[in-house]
Amino acid sequence: MIGTLVNVLSVLAGSTLGVIFRGKFPDKIQKTLIQGISLAVILIGFQMALSIEKSPDIILVIFSLVIGAVIGELLEIEKRLNDFGNTLKERFAAKDALFVQGFVQASLIYCVGAMAIMGSIQDGLNNDPSILFTKSLLDGVTAIAFAASSGIGVAFSAIPILIYQGSITIFASWAEGFLTADMIRIMTATGGLLIVAIGLNMLAKTENIKTGNLLPALAVAVILSSIVF
């Protein structure tokens, strides 16, 4: 769990610095900074999405997104994430209109990806948190920029990081025995497209793509790849 704990602390520290320096930068600098981060997020997403290599891969990714979207809409995951963010906002008397946006976007960015999954598995199985330490550095730096733009809501993304990565670490031995290289590849490619969607939402300052409702696609990717391969 040491890797996840360090990751949580890095996000909290980065968010704190971002909030401290928020408002001390001209709006044009903040705008350009978040645009740069958005492009970097899109680049990371494309890099993950292009991990597909076999002929059935693209079909599995498409079906994973389609089935996952249906499940996500039925479960209203995006709405539940927003409701959770609003609850935190009211509880802590946050007056920042960007609170929910910062919480949801940061949570998805920090939790979706191969580094979060494989880093947690390696930490749990081999007591080697090196992957999560690297992720912590990246997350801490981006948390500064996110919090400077979206406010304290980014700090609360530490909660889903702790739950998500901590759970994978605890059940790492089971996960390692179940996940194959093919499953990880399809899940990574699917997650990459979700990351691209997040970057597009950030860049356009819209929430037209319900990335939260697409999260079940990751689980669907594992199931479909286990059937095909």
Distance of CA 68 to the CA centre of its chain: 16
Q: What is the mean pLDDT of residues 95-115?
A: 72
- Kindly give, in sequence order, each residue whose CB lies less than 8 Å from that of residue 93, ignoring residues fewer than 6 positions away: none
Q: Is 183 exposed, middle or buried (0-12, 13-18, 19+ CB in 10 A)?
A: middle
Angle at 38 between CA 161 and CA 120, to 5 degrees: 25
Q: How confident is the model at residue 81 (pLDDT cuts 50, 70, 90)?
A: confident
Burial profile 7-37: b = 16 or more Cβ within 10 angstroms, e = fewer: bbebbbebbbbbbeebeeeeeeebeebbeeb
Average pLDDT value for residue range 23-40: 73
- The answer on pLDDT for 53 being more than 80 is no
Question: What is the distance between the alpha carbons of residues 217 and 52, in angstroms, rounded to a whole number?
Answer: 16
Q: What is the percentage of the chain residues whose pLDDT exceeds 90?
A: 14
Confidence of residue 25 (pLDDT cuts 50, 70, 90): low
Measured distance CA(64)–CA(67) in Å, rounded? 5
**Residue 167, amino acid:** S
Contact 168, 160 (CB under 8 A): no
pLDDT at 6: 93
Write down the pTM of the prediction: 0.72
Task: Count other Cβ atoms within 10 Å, centred on residue 83.
Answer: 12
Residue 8 has pLDDT above 90, yes or no: yes
Of how many residues is the chain composed? 229
Distance of CA 146 to the CA centre of its chain: 13
Task: Look at residue 58 and tell me whether its pLDDT is greater than 70.
Answer: yes
Give the domain range for residue 16: 2-228
What's the sign of the alpha-carbon dihedral 71, 74, 75, 81?
positive
Helix (H, G, I), strand (E, B) or coil at 129: coil
Using a pLDDT cut of 70, give the percent of the chain over it.
Answer: 87
What is the average pLDDT across 30-46? 78
**pLDDT of residue 207 exceeding 70:** no
2 pLDDT higher than 80: yes
Residues contacting residue 173 through CB under 8 Å, at least 6 positions apart: 124, 125
Q: What is the pLDDT of residues 130-184, one digit of tens each?
A: 878 878 887 888 888 788 877 788 888 898 899 988 888 887 767 667 778 888 8
Number of compact structural domains in the chain: 1
Q: Coil, helix or strand for 55?
A: coil
